[in-house]
Structure 1
Amino acid sequence: MPKQPKFQLHEARTYRSFLLIRPDDPDLPALTMLREVLKVLQAGRGNFSPRRESFPDTQVGDLIFEIIAECNTLMGLTDAAVQCITQQIENWDYDKDMIRWEQFVEGMVLIDYSLPAELRIQIWHGALPEKDSPALIFFKKGCWRRRRLSETEQGYDPTDPSHPHFYFDPELLDHVEVNVPLFFVNREARRIALAWCHEQGISLRSSRNQQSLIFSRPFNSKHDVLYVPLDQWDGFLCEPYDQMFTPEWTGQSVSTYALELGFIAVPEAQVYSNPAVLHEMFEWPYRPAVLYVVLDSPPDLRLEYAGQNVQRRWEVRTCQGGSLFYTWKDGHGSFEEGASERSGHEVLYELIKEVSKGLGEGITLHNVRSFEVRPVCAVRYEGSTSSIL
């Protein structure tokens, strides 16, 4: 009989699923939980010799050994897979690591190797998302550049074709970590994962300690969110104009065009400490379609690097409650709440509504068709993105 379980199964779905493991949940015994996890991780490569020394000398290791020894359906599991899943379980922290665990298990597809290769490949493709999910990427200085516009670009002046323009280049931002769990399943899945990475513009880089590989991709202005910390807001707004007053720009006429990032995020404290944040944003060269307000910012929400110029991954999650939409009515603009339940953010909503008075002038001046303020939560996203070289 197995020992008293340390972890218990909260929910399990066997195909392209994720497991939510919660401590002290009496729904199912830990033996059942471990059996389901190991099934998902089964690689199906030859016979596995059940040796107790192959497993860590822990309670979880005992349970895995008992399952392997008595369950013929789990033959084919490798030592590496056993070590990997054991570490995942023993280091599990429901509140902190839920997102990491979901993504880790979601990519480990239970697959029957008696199936034709064409069908297996189709299953591997089905385990991959259509595209990488949006990420929260920290702002950094040094992304404004000077260049001349081509004849087809907006703002080009045929009477002064050499006139310099100052613009924000998102390609100069750091890359962000990408989770590709399918890469670590087996060789067949790895080939599919690498092809998907190539299509997505995802590359492999070395970690900071040069001992592992990291998947990363550049900032995507169409769906990623640029996060500006509280202490960098002024620098974020003023950088393009500060650059134009440097000695190399003295005496030159330079045009600065609006930066259409799409999504900018600020901490909730920014709105409370600087109610003019909305006006400032539209007075300066930034025109986001959505301003995310990060509620209850985690204490570890800070810029960290997984590798050279590769930021550790953060994402945003929608909080309870809806967005505020800037709308026009009777020639006047104001924020209106979307159709949703009240969420406890009424103080924030009312402050935004109050400080938005007069915002319409900046919006109409720059031909902004729509604008939204959306409360969100920031979530640290950690996954099996690297492997030891």
Structure 2
Amino acid sequence: MASTVDVYRFHRFPDLPPEIRIQIWQEALPDTPEPALFSFQKGGWEPQPLAEDDEYYNEFDDSNLALIFDYNQIKGRYFIPLALVNQEAYDVVLFWAREEGLEITYTKTKRLPVFTRHFDTHDTLYIPADKWDDFIDAPRARMREDDLLEPGVARICFTLTQLAIPDTILQRNISALRDLMDNFTQVNSILVLSESEIPDYTSECMDEIPLAWGYEVHSNGAYTWDNIVDEFRTEGLLDSKDPATKLMMKAAGKVGRDLSDEDMLLFRLQRAKITDIGVLGPRVFTPKPIPATKTQRLLQWLRNKKKQGK
């Protein structure tokens, strides 16, 4: 009987020179994490002194505090399957992650490495339906805490301009966008997700820091406020049969008067969808050339790590 050959394994891979193995692992590394959706997490509102040139600064007020949303406290997690192949691949991923500014943590059972990064301005804050009320009330709730009852707050500062929400928020409260405008005046772009398209994904790390979600906006248009004619106009072709799009357009009608009264220059609503759930896989399109110096640094780091027994 002919022997069965395992065509899916390269059994001589460990016999390759370490430089070649390292280059192969490097080619399998993921791309730099793209802008993602980071779920809203409680906290993040911190008091800071107002500068003297701030319009809310009062020379007769001893406190002069602003309550600022520190988005750097928001985190998202990623799984990188390559890190689970073997120790050498894990080391290559760890080196790459450190250069990309990712932090490494582990699931509660300590079995799976998870890579964490902080929210950045190119990311989008996602507000789940069950967290909407907490999000809207968060600055006022923070001002009710003991350390801010005495001095008081002169200004609430929320610098993010784009948020993402599920359509169920609009389904439950069609005036939700008006509530948003009343509390967070800087926000001028809303991505609307269909709740039915949001994956029901749970894992042992979800109760601590949520996984970051990859996303993309729909290519079939947006609903944008035109302050010249004081009405919303359609960009592209919106899917009038899509339930989430219908809710988005209906909600826009509820805030039109407010946008006109406040002379709002920009307010945009657009459908978006989830593309992945916090998994960074290997590059699948155009591999990026890896500088020889980077490979050399990686090899030296691995040698030092081996000598130190880490």
TM-score between the two structures when normalised by the length of structure 1: 0.58
**What is the aligned counterpart of 1:137 among 38, 56, 62?**
38
Task: Please say if residues 177 and 312 of structure 1, whose CA atoms lie closer than 8 Å, have aligned partners that are also in contact.
Answer: yes
Q: Paired residue for 2:102?
A: 202
- The structure whose Rg is larger is 1
Task: Please say if residues 304 and 312 of structure 1, whose CA atoms lie closer than 8 Å, have aligned partners that are also in contact.
Answer: no
Task: Please say if residues 148 and 164 of structure 1, whose CA atoms lie closer than 8 Å, have aligned partners that are also in contact.
Answer: yes
Q: Secondary structure at the match of 2:187?
A: coil
* Distance in 2 between residues matched to 1:201 and 1:363, nearest whole Å: 40
**What is the aligned counterpart of 2:241 among 344, 354, 357?**
344
The C-alpha deviation readout for 1:150-208, integer Å capped at 9, x for no partner, is: 56x855748368511111112333x3221334434566654543232113221111212
Q: Across the two proteins, how many residue pairs are aligned to each other?
A: 278
Give identity over the alignment, percent.
21
Q: Whose relative contact order is higher, 1 or 2, with alpha carbons under 8 Å and at least 6 apart?
A: 2
Q: How does 1:78-97 map to 2 (within 5 A)?
A: none
**Unpaired segments of 5 or more residues in structure 2?**
282-310
Q: How does 1:60-75 map to 2 (within 5 A)?
A: 66-68=4-6, 74-75=10-11
Q: 1:248 to 1:353 in 2, by over 3 A?
A: closer
Task: Please say if residues 107 and 113 of structure 2, whose CA atoms lie closer than 8 Å, have aligned partners that are also in contact.
Answer: yes
Q: Secondary structure at the match of 1:261?
A: coil
Answering whether residue 126 of structure 2 is matched by residue 227 of structure 1, we say: yes
* Distance in 2 between residues matched to 1:303 and 1:72, nearest whole Å: 31
One-letter code aligned to 1:272: Q
Q: How does 1:33-44 map to 2 (within 5 A)?
A: none
Give, in angstroms, the shift of residue 284 of structure 1: 0.5
**Unpaired segments of 5 or more residues in structure 1?**
2-64, 79-112
Q: Secondary structure at the match of 2:196?
A: coil
**RMSD of aligned Cα (Å):** 3.9
* Distance in 2 between residues matched to 1:214 and 1:261, nearest whole Å: 27
* Distance in 2 between residues matched to 1:168 and 1:125, nearest whole Å: 37
Give, in angstroms, the shift of residue 144 of structure 1: 1.1
One-letter code aligned to 1:266: I
Q: Paired residue for 2:214?
A: 315
Runs of 4+ in 1 over 6 A off after TM superposition: none
Q: 1:360 to 1:274 in 2, by over 3 A?
A: same
Q: Paired residue for 1:89?
A: none
Give, in angstroms, the shift of residue 351 of structure 1: 0.7
Answering whether residue 53 of structure 2 is matched by residue 176 of structure 1, we say: no
Q: Secondary structure at the match of 1:311?
A: coil
